[in-house]
Amino acid sequence: MRDRYLRALRRQPVDRTPVWIMRQAGRYLPEYREVRKRAGDFLTLCKTPELACKVTLQPLERFDLDAAIIFSDILTIPDAMGLGLTLEEGMGPRFEFPIRSPGEIEKLPRVDVEARLDYVMQAIRMTRRELSGRVPLIGFSGSPWTLATYMVEGGSSKEFRHVKGLMHDQPDAAELLMKKLTESVSDYLRAQATAGAQSLMVFDTWGGVLAEPDYVRFSLEPMIRIVENLKADPAVSDIPVTLFTKGGGNWLELIAASGCDALGLDWTVSLASARSRVGHLVALQGNLDPTVLYASSDKVIAEAVRILEDFGDGDGHVFNLGHGIHPGVDPERVRTLVDAVHRESAR
């Protein structure tokens, strides 16, 4: 297996900087859109292991990527809790039954991941067989705070009125929600690793909207418990875990001290600065602004070089975007980026 991605996460020497791209299987690829159309809707695509496996592998057929990430969605856990998830093109996620009261939180079940989310495990096992050791496979989940934002708001939000209201006015209820989600996310990631995921990532998309005390209490501490739960299980304790808080640049030292193996960075944070702040405690993943992929090939190459130089010499860098790739990107720009990262870092 080409293991430079796993080696980088463990801060071991590599022959060149590994690269993969968040949302690398997605709408910017015409072959993905074709499979999505055949599936009928996004959730059916996610819940059909053969199709999820197929679209997971599609980017690797085009680009020389160093890892695959299982095709799924961050909202699988609240969907399995029975909140009535729908995902409509151009509308974002919606929950038919948002959680707004302590009583509703108390009734939330701990997800039986083997029963309710087995379609994800099937897709992982199938993808591992199809990869046949070519590159590692990444499993993932949304963070408890990020899942809670959707569950309480009922969908996407700009103000986070309901979930922040819950957090401020009924903190005990908010903590109970985080506890329940922490248990389910831990179970879910453990099951993914057991099924064959060789690395795990927690996407904390909305942690950056919190004030620092609230971030620590409601976002970071649940992620720390997830890492502790995984590291305490001998069956999965050696699986590298990456934590990524979008907008979390103020709290890099706190995240790095969580026990995770790698820290994801968005494009607002300098890799050199991050490296000086966290030392050799964790590997760093990131952090090209996704909109650079709309620019010319020369600009894409120049930005790839700039980020490699920003990290500098030494081990522990996984090249990625600072967030997910946008649907309108030309796939050839992705090829340019991946090839440039490998070529320039090998020097």
Q: Label the pairing between strands 85-88 and 92-95.
A: antiparallel
Residue 23 bears catalytic tag: yes
Residue 119 bears catalytic tag: no
Could you say which of 66, 73, 187, 204 is catalytic?
73
CB 188 within 8 A of CB 199: no
Residue 27 bears catalytic tag: yes
Question: What is residue 41's DSSP assignment?
Answer: S
CB 231 within 8 A of CB 259: yes
Using CA atoms, how far residue 10 sits from 35, 62, 91, 300, in Å, is: 35, 27, 39, 28
CB-CB neighbours of 304 under 10 Å: 25
Could you say which of 5, 28, 150, 188 is catalytic?
150
Residue 217 bears catalytic tag: no
Residue 188 bears catalytic tag: no
How far is 330 from 27, CA to CA, in rounded Å?
11
Q: Is the bond preceding 287 in cis, omega lying within 30 degrees of 0? A: yes
Both tokens assigned to 268: 């607002």
CB 293 within 8 A of CB 325: yes
Could you say which of 4, 7, 11, 36 is catalytic?
36
CB 19 within 8 A of CB 66: yes
How far is 331 from 32, CA to CA, in rounded Å?
12
Could you say which of 16, 27, 33, 335 is catalytic?
27
Active site residues: 23, 27, 36, 73, 150
